[in-house]
Amino acid sequence: MTTAAALNIVERVLIDKPSFHLSGAARWDALPETLEAIARFAQPGDTTLEVGVGVSTVVFAASGTNHTAISCDPAEHESVRKYCQQIGIDDSRLDFMVGMSDDVLPALLTRDRTLDMALIDGAHSFPLPVVDWHYVTRALKVGGKLLLDDIPVPAVGQVFRHMMLESGWRFDGTFDDRAAAFTLLALPDTDDEWIRQPFNMDFPDYSFAGLPKQLRLESTYRLKQIGKRVGQRYPALRRVYKRIA
């Protein structure tokens, strides 16, 4: 299908409001702007992945991508497939994986970077959004799109904040005040030097301690850092500093 046709399917599902979760008793779906973003970003023939299942799966199928969706309930998968067939969407490129994403993703994805686009909208309990992000992003192509739903959830928000700080990601905007889109611009640095990560720029963070202890720890750290800089510039003062520190 064309992008215009996929957008028409978005309009259709918003009217039909199909229920795929809990045997039709619940609807946990991406919101309208997010569905429209999927229809615009996904191109026929793309390789796409979704952690979660819902009307977003229908939109991916309508876009003509080679799409894989992951969830624990096979009844959801059957309901999505039946709905696609009911409204005339070709479901031959649609595949489902049954299981928790942290079990499925390590075996499903490789580092070959074959993914053109992914949507992370699975379990929101910490650390699952971070685990999903880890496996999905190392399979994403440079230039590939990542949609991250439910960023107001703190466990998901941690991932969002990290991505916003990284120069290898371009932030493309938010949708429905709930989902964020990014484009991968460059492969991550293979040097696992945590201190260089922007996400860790606030090191040391002593907020875990009570306020008096926090202030004491921060002061001690700053004093040690001053001593290192003084010692590097004036080696003769190292012994003096050590006696007074």
Q: What is the pLDDT of residues 45-90, one digit of tens each?
A: 999 999 999 999 999 999 999 999 999 999 999 999 999 999 999 9
Instruction: Give per-residue burial for 100-136: e unless 16+ CB within 10 Å, then b.
Output: ebbebbeebbeeebebbbbbbbbbeeeebbebbbebb
Residues sharing a CB contact under 8 Å with residue 31, sequence separation 6 or more, in sequence order? 175, 176, 178, 179
Residues sharing a CB contact under 8 Å with residue 142, sequence separation 6 or more, in sequence order? 113, 184, 185, 186, 187
147 — pLDDT class (breaks 50, 70, 90): very high
What counts of helices (H) and strands (E) characterise the chain? 9, 7
pLDDT at 227: 76
Between 190 and 163, the higher pLDDT residue: 163
pLDDT at 161: 97
pLDDT tens-digit readout, 203-215? 999 999 999 899 9
pLDDT at 243 over 60: no
DSSP string, 1-21: --HHHHHHHHHHHHHH----B
C-alpha span between 78 and 119 (Å, rounded)? 20
Structure tokens at 191: 């040097």
242 — pLDDT class (breaks 50, 70, 90): low
Average pLDDT over residues 36-43: 98
pLDDT at 25 over 90: no
pLDDT at 219 over 80: yes
pLDDT at 244 over 80: no
DSSP state of 113: -
Helix (H), strand (E) at residue 243: helix 238-244
pLDDT at 178: 97
pLDDT at 239 over 80: no
| Mean pLDDT, the chain, integer | 92
Average pLDDT over residues 14-19: 95
Backbone angles phi, psi at 28, to 5 degrees: -115, 80
pLDDT at 226: 80
pLDDT at 238: 60
Residues of the chain with CATH 3.40.50.150: 3-190
Could you tell me which CATH number the domain at 3-190 has?
A: 3.40.50.150
pLDDT tens-digit readout, 48-60? 999 999 999 999 9
Predicted structure pTM score: 0.89
Residues in the chain: 245
191 — pLDDT class (breaks 50, 70, 90): confident
pLDDT tens-digit readout, 96-126? 999 999 999 999 998 889 999 999 999 999 9
C-alpha span between 72 and 128 (Å, rounded)? 14
Cβ neighbours around 207 below 10 Å, total: 9
